[in-house]
Structure formats: structure tokens, C-alpha cells
Amino acid sequence: MKRTLTVCPYCGVGCTFYLVSDKGRLVGVEPSATHPVSRGGLCVKGWNAYAFVHHPDRLTTPLVRRDGLLCPASWDEALNLVIEKLQAIQAKHGRDAVMFASSAKATNEENFLLMKLARAVFGTNNIDHCARLCHSSTVTGLAETFGSGAMTNSISCLDQTEVILVIGSNTTEQHPLIGSRILNAVRNGVRLIVADNRRIRLARHAELHLRHKNGSDVALLNGIMHVIISEGLTDRDFIAARTENYDALAKSVAEWTPERSADATGLKADEIIATARLFAGAERAMIVYSMGITQHSHGVDNVRCIASLAMLTGNVGRTGTGVNPLRGQNNVQGGCDMGALPDLYSGYQKVSDQKIRDKFARAWGVDELPESPGLPLTRAMDAASAGHLQGMFIMGENPMLSDPDQGHARKVLENLELLVVQDIFLTETAALADIVLPAACYAEKEGTFTNTERRVQRLHKAVAPPGTARADWEIICDLAERAGYPGMRYNNTAEIMNEAAALTPIYGGITDDRLDQHGLQWPCPDSSHPGTPILHLDHFTRGRGRFSPVTHRLPAELPDEQYPFVLTTGRTYFHWHTGSMTRRTHLLHREEPRSFIELHPDDAARIGVRDRDKLLVISRRGQVHTEARVTAMVIPGVVFMPFHFAEGAANALTNNILDPESSIPEFKVCAVSVEKLL
């Protein structure tokens, strides 16, 4: 038996484990006892992360559509066709008629290369990835307030704080090894506040559980800040020494009395006052948040309020404090860091900056690079239906199930002149493609992933890919070569990282040989730098932290007579997003086999529904069949549905309205009706 140390392919916690293989086949997983985050533990997905790798559904050969059917083809034929068609579309409709979707499942090296392919070879900034659907509000909101959109502190800080505010994060199910860290901390005396109207597991251990209305976080946080200011609980020295624009914030929250905040959130004024006192009374307090904050048409405003709350109480730049957006996918931090974003190169360097463009153009041996920012992924769908986008190259994403308003997404994907999908399985999206390219998965390649605490860690190849499947980076290099670009020849992924590091100051000192065992946390500017566990130590990345006051805006779609329930969507412990991997993992699928919707017992009684009844859920966009799960997890008037299931797809219902600044969809609030199927 062989043991190969690598990184979990599921969530941003970034646990490492050994893949155990026997004669070229994976047979199990052993956790790494010394890893600073997982410390010998794994969640159920990690323990089972070997199981999908050898699934018989794995793609083994390229597929090309002939007479309407996807048929096996040679790599030569498939790759030449991709290049020929992309170039033909650009010749006819202009460079920006094609879009590249990168992947938070792929490595840093692969994300770097896809953005290089888009920019240097195809001359377009139309490159983005699922961070758009996820933490784009964080990237925008924290860049403005702090100058850097990443988690400010480290996971180990959870052991060294006094109060943790968890807002809009179902941590024990979605970041399990961070969730268990929080539970341990609470056992050791840390005080916990949970602001999430679902009765998530952490809520049972919280001193205060705020069950405010979906979409009312600005009203809640403004109310909390009002109390902190009016009771004199601010950190005056921190505000004076490290921040700007405090007066504007104070003025704006002055009108947010606890009573007004209570009215807008559905909470009691006392709960808001108690939260303010507990949070501001601590010497060290941490804020942990995730999609409950970001996935709103006012997601950036939510993030601004969170940044303000932390600065108001001096909780930035020290151990056991900070603003901690938990990044979702195993490498979504890395996808952003590597510049798979329409307006930024790697290291958050702006494409609009001539000096930056010149630097990349020189390194890549091209005359010029495109200047205007490209399309965000979520706007690409609308651009395509308006006829501005004809070709899409999607690496490792499944928008047919993960994009809002599935009916709209399907129409767009079906009508593209060219859809190329590079995946490990024939997903719902790949099934619509003109050309499908089979990729190697995490267990079959080398490279690095960056976890939520900015820790860059190495993968190691444990087994060979199935059939003729190839690592994403090898496919991208081959495409570049066939497009006539000679600047993408690498012998291994270490050479790609060297190029990325040379162009990306925050990764400047990251080289493969320094990453073994537990990786390095960026910023790591040079080869002797030990990495950075805590950001903004004595000044913010942008200099002074900026208070950005905001006004409360309601979600775009609220319940009415025809659609009386608020639908909020999210995830479960056992499944991963669109289920491509977890629904092919026997032990996980067995635990959660079917689409369901959580419904409060009072609502269920009122509409005559019992547990496990078959239901029809309808929104203005579509309808789905699903099954009732009658539970006090949710509050009356709110229903919750995971988006893992192709049959009973939550995104047939969701609203395609976007935050104007971050272009994130409002996945967390839309209006639906619920009927019992007879």
C-alpha cells in the first residue's frame, strides 16, 4: 500500500490527508495528525474523498457533438476544434464574444494558466469563476474597507478569542473542522453569538441566537453599532489611530435605535442590546461569516457593516479577532488570488492599471493585454441572451445546477454557438456541450490549493487518471500551443508557480519546495518570509481602515399573496453543491438521497402538509417537485432548500437579481408558494 499526502478536494478548510492506494487504486483515506487545522480529524466528506475517483462515470475520452450526439473523439480532433471554433467566433463577433469560466476545484497553477490563456492568447478579460456566486461581495466590500478581501485571521485564532459572532454561516455542516473548533472553544469558555434564523447546530451552543428575517442583516448590524456607540463601548484609540470616516458611520447609525432595528429584523430590542454589549465588551472578538451575508442583492453592504463593526470595537489586527469570511470551495481563495476574475490579475492587481498590464505583457511575451474589465460570470448569461457572447469555455463548474434561475441558464447554454466543458464527469452542463474535455481530478495531479486562511498547500499525485483524461493545466497548455502561442510550455506545475510567484507580490516567496507539510500563508513576499497568519497588524492594506456607512435595502423579491413563503437556499453536510462528486459517493448519497424542503410545523399544519409529503414549490421563474421535511430548524414563513439535486433543483426557483456592485445573485431570498401534491 502507498500513502500520498494531499489536500481535501471539498471545502476551504483545507484539511490534508493521505490517500491510501493499492496497485494503482485508491482504497481509503488517513488524516494527517500534524496538520494545524484538521489535527488528525476529517469530516465525512474527507473520509470518503477517495470514493468518486474511480467511479465508472468518470470521463475517459474527449467527446464531440455529431448529429446531435456526444461521441468519443481524439484529443487532436477535440482540441483543434475548440481552437478553431473559438477563433472563428472572435473573428466574427470580436474578442469579447467568448468567456472563460475557471474553477475553484482546480489548482492555483491551473487557474493562473486559464486566466493567462484568456488574456494573453485570446485577448479578453472575460474570465471569472464561482467566487462570483459566493464571496464576490466580500472581495468588493473588504477591498474598499480594509484593502484586502481575504480572511484577516487564522483558524487557530478561534482558540484564542473571547467572543465569536457567527453570522450567516452554518459552520458545523459547511466548514466542519472549523465548526468543531468553535464547539471546542465554547466548551472552553468562549461565548458564542449566532445570527441565523435556522436552528443550526451551533445555535444550540450559543448564548444568543438571533433569528432575524432573511435579508435584514444591515438593519441588525446598524442596530448593534448604534448601541455600541450610544453606550460608549467603542474602541476610541483604534478608531482614531487606524481608521477614517468614523463620523459618517456614527451619523448614519444614529437613527438605528434598537427599537427601529428590532422592527426591521423581527427581533426584540433587548436581543440587539445584549448582542452589542457582549460583542463590544470582549477584549477579543471574532466575526465569522459566509453565504448568509454575501448572497444578497445588498451583499456588499452587509460586508461593509461587518467591517465597520470590527473596526468600531478595535477587533482587527490582533490574535483572536478579525473579519473572517469562510471561503467555500477547496481552492476558491486560490482562484481569486490567481486572477480568475474579470478585473484583476493574480494578487488583485488591476487590469485597468497600465503598469500592471505592461508587466504581465512583458513576462508573457505579448505586445499588449486587454484593458477594459471583462464580464462577471453572472452577467455573461445576460450578455449571451442579448447576443453579445457566443462562446463559453467552462472548466470545472456546473452552472446548469448552480446558477440562479435554471430556466434562463438552460436557454443561454443551449443557444451558445460554442459550449466547451472540461470536467471529470458528464455533468448536467457538460451534457449540453459541443465539446467535452476529460480532466484528471485532485488525486491524479500535482499543484497547490489555497485554503480559507490563505494557506497555500501542495497536492501530490496518488494515482493515474482514467483513460486518456489529462490534468487541467496540461490541457490548457496544449490549447495555447495549438492557438500558436509558444509561451505556455512547462515541464511541471512547480514551473507554473514560479512564474505566478514572480508576477504576484503576495505569492512572491511561494515555491513548491517550501510548502511541504503545512504550506505557507500569504502574503509571503520573498523566499525567506515565513508567511502571514494575521493581516492588517499595524496598518490596513489600504492604509487606514474605512468606515462605509450603508442604508438598509429590502431583498428584491418579498412574499405576497400568491407566493407567501420566503425561500432560502443552501447546503447540507453530506453533499457538495451540484452533487457531481458526492452523489457518486455511496456513503454520502445514502445519507441524503433526495431533494427536500424544510418547512416549519405551524406552516405545515396550516397548509395540511405532513413530514415526507410530496410537494410542488413554485416561484415566478419555475417549479419543482420535492419532499416536505417538517422541522423547527426554520422559522414560520421561511422554507429552506439545498441545491444539490438535479431532480428537484432549487435553482429552478431562485431569483437572478444581482448585487449591483459585486454581481452576486440573491440566492438567499426569493418568494415561493408551496402546495401538497395529491
Ligand X SMILES: Nc1nc2c(c(=O)[nH]1)N[C@H]1C(S)=C(S)[C@@H](COP(=O)(O)OP(=O)(O)OC[C@H]3O[C@@H](n4cnc5c(=O)[nH]c(N)nc54)[C@H](O)[C@@H]3O)O[C@H]1N2
Residues lying near ligand X in the complex (CB under 6 A): 11, 103, 105-106, 130, 133-134, 167-170, 173-175, 195-196, 198, 200, 214-215, 217, 290-292, 295, 328-329, 395-399, 402, 422-425, 427, 439, 441-442, 472, 568-571, 573, 575-578, 580-581, 643, 650-651, 654, 667-668
Count of CB atoms situated within 10 Å of the CB of 483: 17
Read off the amino acid at residue 622. G
Site map (CB under 6 A) of ligand SF4, residues 119-158, x = contact: ----------------------------------------
Cα distance between residue 157 and residue 154, in whole Å? 5
Q: Tell whether residue 15 is a contact of ligand SF4 (CB under 6 A).
A: yes
Q: Which of 5, 6, 13, 420 touches ligand SF4 (CB under 6 A)?
A: 13
Sign, CA dihedral 152-107-642-581, equals negative
Q: Name the residue number minimizing CB distance to ligand SF4.
A: 46
Q: Is 415 helix (H, G, I), strand (E, B) or coil?
A: helix
Span near ligand SF4 by CB under 6 A; candidates 3-11, 408-416, 489-497, 561-569: 3-11
- To the nearest 10°, report the CA torsion of 448, 450, 456, 460: -30
Which grid cell sits at 527?
523566499
Q: Which is nearer to ligand X, 493 or 568 (CB)?
A: 568
Nearer to ligand SF4, 172 or 398 (CB): 172
Least spacing, CB of residue 176 vs ligand SF4, in Å: 4
Cβ pair 615, 626 in contact under 8 A? yes
| 20 versus 366: smaller Cβ distance to ligand SF4 | 20
Per-residue x/- marks for Mo ion, 292-331, CB under 5 A? ------------------------------------x---
> Which residue is it, cell 457567527?
166
**Hey, which bits of 346-406 come out as E strands?**
349-350, 391-395
Taking the C-alpha atoms of residue 655 and residue 379, their distance in angstroms, rounded to an integer, is: 14
End-to-end CA distance of the chain: 54
**Nearer CB in complex with ligand SF4: 15/436:** 15
Task: Let me know the angle formed at the C-alpha of 425 by 580 and 489, rounded to the nearest 5 degrees.
Answer: 120
User: DSSP character for 118?
Assistant: I
Tell the smallest beta-carbon distance from residue 371 to ligand X (Å): 29
Shortest separation between residue 182's beta carbon and ligand SF4, angstroms: 13
> What secondary structure does DSSP assign to 175-211, as a single string?
SHHHHHHHHHHHHTT-EEEEE-SS--GGGGG-SEEE-
Among 8, 463, 479, 672, binds ligand SF4 (CB under 6 A): 8
Tell me which of Mo ion, ligand SF4, ligand X, none is bound by residue 217, counting a contact when its beta carbon lies within the kind-specific cut-off of 5 to 8 angstroms: ligand X
Among 5, 11, 219, 459, binds ligand SF4 (CB under 6 A): 11
Pairing mode, if any, of strands 655-658 and 323-325?
unpaired
Q: Is 134 in the site for Mo ion (CB under 5 A)?
A: yes
Contacts to ligand SF4 from residues 162-191, by CB under 6 A: 176-177
Give kind and range of the element (H or E) at residue 285.
Answer: strand 285-289
Tell me how far, at minimum, the Cβ of 582 lies from ligand X, in Å: 8
Query: Cα–Cα distance between 351 and 373 in angstroms, integer?
Result: 7
Positions touching Mo ion (CB under 5 A) are: 134, 328
Positions touching ligand SF4 (CB under 6 A) are: 8, 10-11, 13-15, 38, 42-43, 45-46, 176-177
